[in-house]
């Protein structure tokens, strides 16, 4: 459950949004979207509670257009989407993934609508070029960082770099997600292999880590005290910290992994106008404010992160290209399955 402060802040923000009149250049799209009345959003970039809140926020700003939220992990969302396409049974209007490599693959299938949201022009320079103009654009981002149970690990004892997680003292006490389910964990795995080679994971396996599915599973394990260190998305880790859980975030000295969450309207969208209006909203100031309140990094420079999170300009970042991820995520998934039996 969200804190009372967070709920109040979000409620106030939504009320302010509802007061804004429709822009003339989106009025026709909004009218067409209202006639459709709903849209379906496949989303992996945030947890279920936050995704539902975002859907309600859109409906509050655009009354009469309901958002059906389908939240799963990145790879599961993609598998569901491709199954829909294979069966010629489209359900998804807007697809928001944690693995940017999904988008070029969907483009090859002509599965993405050719649409340029008005708000795409206002994305922060840090995210320009991390999409494909006319097809998909960054809508959120997060960092993959280390997390620590601060009731069981003193600050001076906490790991400072990714290689510190190989220390035998963390044997059986370290938690990770799985790249076969989580797009963000897939990005992190590619980054670690690029930085240290697969030998890093061979050594990690000797520490007998706890491996879940979602990138958020380690947070649950640390909160319960079943593990004391691990890998986590910055946004949901800070959300957990805000709720009073014993989680601390460590920005690794050897680099935090920048994970971009892109969104696109599907070419076969059952509600194409509502989908386009929603995709445009995902790059708006209004959505960025909701992201910041929910501890998700927005792609609008006008909206800074809340206190407790560092601006990207102050973080050592490890970045990967879409081409690298498209080729290497499937490779590391297979390697992971062979190593962590």
Report d(CA 202, CA 8) in Å as an integer: 47
Number of residues assigned to the chain = 341
Helix (H) / strand (E) element for 191: namely: helix 183-196
Report d(CA 70, CA 253) in Å as an integer: 36
| pTM of the entire predicted model | 0.82
Q: pLDDT tens digits, the chain, 341 residues: what are they?
A: 344 334 444 444 444 443 344 444 689 999 999 999 999 999 999 889 999 999 999 999 999 999 999 999 999 999 999 999 999 999 999 999 999 999 999 999 999 999 999 999 999 988 888 899 999 999 999 999 999 999 999 999 999 999 999 999 999 999 999 999 999 999 999 999 999 999 999 999 999 999 999 999 999 999 999 999 999 999 999 999 999 999 999 999 999 999 999 999 999 999 999 999 999 999 999 999 999 998 888 899 999 888 888 888 899 999 898 889 989 999 999 999 999 97
Q: Of 282, 228, 229, which Cα lies nearest the Cα of 118?
A: 282
String of b and e for 37-55 (b: at least 16 CB within 10 Å)? eebbbbbbbbbeebbebbb
Going by the DSSP 8-state scheme, the letter that residue 300 receives in this structure is -
CATH code for the part of the protein at 4-140+261-303: 3.40.190.10
Report d(CA 200, CA 203) in Å as an integer: 5
> DSSP string spanning 128-151?
TTSSBTTTBEEEEEEEEEEEEETT
Name the fold adopted by 142-257+316-339. D-Maltodextrin-Binding Protein; domain 2 (3.40.190)
Report d(CA 139, CA 96) in Å as an integer: 8
Provide the CA 272 distance to its chain's centre, in angstroms.
Answer: 23
- Beta strands 229-233 and 137-149 are antiparallel
| Token couple for 185 | 């964990």
Report d(CA 138, CA 261) in Å as an integer: 6
Q: Do domains 4-140+261-303 and 142-257+316-339 have the same CATH topology?
A: yes
Going by the DSSP 8-state scheme, the letter that residue 106 receives in this structure is H
CB atoms within 10 A of CB 152: 14
Cα-Cα-Cα-Cα torsion 143, 117, 288, 25, nearest 10 degrees, comes to 170
Q: In terms of C-beta density within 10 A (0-12 exposed, 13-18 middle, 19 or more buried), how is residue 21 classed?
A: exposed
> DSSP string spanning 224-281?
TTS-SEEEEEHHHHHHHHHTT-SEEEE--TT-EEEEEEEEEEBTT-SSHHHHHHHHHH
| Token couple for 340 | 């962590």
Q: Domain residue spans in the chain? A: 4-140+261-303, 142-257+316-339
């Amino acid at each position: 459950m969200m804190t009372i402060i967070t709920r109040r802040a979000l409620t106030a923000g939504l009320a302010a949004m509802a007061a804004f009149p429709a822009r003339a250049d989106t009025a026709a799209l909004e009218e067409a979207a209202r006639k459709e009345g709903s849209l379906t959003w496949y989303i992996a970039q945030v947890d279920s509670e936050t995704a539902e809140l975002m859907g309600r926020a859109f409906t509050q700003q655009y009354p009469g257009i309901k958002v059906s939220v389908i939240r799963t992990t990145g790879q599961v969302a993609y598998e569901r989407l491709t199954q829909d396409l294979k069966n010629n049974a489209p359900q998804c209007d807007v697809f928001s993934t944690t693995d940017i490599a999904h988008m070029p693959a969907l483009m090859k299938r002509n599965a993405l609508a050719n649409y340029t949201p008005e708000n795409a022009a206002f994305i922060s320079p840090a995210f320009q070029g991390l999409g494909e103009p006319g097809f998909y654009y960054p809508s959120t981002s997060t960092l993959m960082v280390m997390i620590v149970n601060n009731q069981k690990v003193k600050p001076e004892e906490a790991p400072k770099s990714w290689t510190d997680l190989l220390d035998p003292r963390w044997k059986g006490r370290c938690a990770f997600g799985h790249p076969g389910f989580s797009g963000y964990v897939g990005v992190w795995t590619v980054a670690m292999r690029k930085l240290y080679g697969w030998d890093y994971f061979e050594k990690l396996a000797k520490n007998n880590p706890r491996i879940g599915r979602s990138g958020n599973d380690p947070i649950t394990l640390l909160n319960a005290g079943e593990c004391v260190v691990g890998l986590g998305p910055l946004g949901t880790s800070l959300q957990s910290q805000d709720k009073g859980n014993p989680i601390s975030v460590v920005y690794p000295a050897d680099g935090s992994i920048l994970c971009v969450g892109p969104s696109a309207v599907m070419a076969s969208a059952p509600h194409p106008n509502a989908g386009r209006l929603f995709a445009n909203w995902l790059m708006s100031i209004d959505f960025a404010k909701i992201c910041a309140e929910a501890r998700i990094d927005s792609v609008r420079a006008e909206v800074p992160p809340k206190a407790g999170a560092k601006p990207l300009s102050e973080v050592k970042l490890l970045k990967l290209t879409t081409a690298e991820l498209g080729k290497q995520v499937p490779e590391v998934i297979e390697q992971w399955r062979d190593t962590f039996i």
